[in-house]
Amino acid sequence: MIHTRDGRPLQRSGDDLHSRSGRHVARMRGRKAYGPSGVYVGTLLGDRLVYRAGDSVSLGVPFLESPRAGFSAVNAIPANLLGEEPPLPD
């Protein structure tokens, strides 16, 4: 289980990240995550996805969303990491 900087849970399946509602919100390339349009959404630091302005200049490959069943998970405590909450839908 991965969480965003502010503690929202994301389910990881291979390189794909899904929100709690089951929406396909990002795909990982190395430590960086990119949204369906190929735009940078965050960098993975341990088990936290954090938006870092310095990394935002990179572009990924666009992809078609593949939704899956939602899941139940409790929010984690927000992390004290440099960066912002990633702009991901819940």
pLDDT tens, position by position, 5-48 = 999 999 999 999 999 999 999 999 999 999 999 999 999 999 99
In this prediction the pTM is 0.92
Query: Bridge partners of 18?
Result: 11, 24
Q: How far apart are CA 69 and CA 86, in angstroms?
A: 22
Residues in contact with 80: Cβ distance below 8 Å, sequence separation at least 6, in sequence order: none
Amino acid (1-letter code) at residue 56: S
The CA-CA-CA angle for residues 89, 59, 68, to 5°, reads 35
Give domain limits for the chain.
1-63+72-90
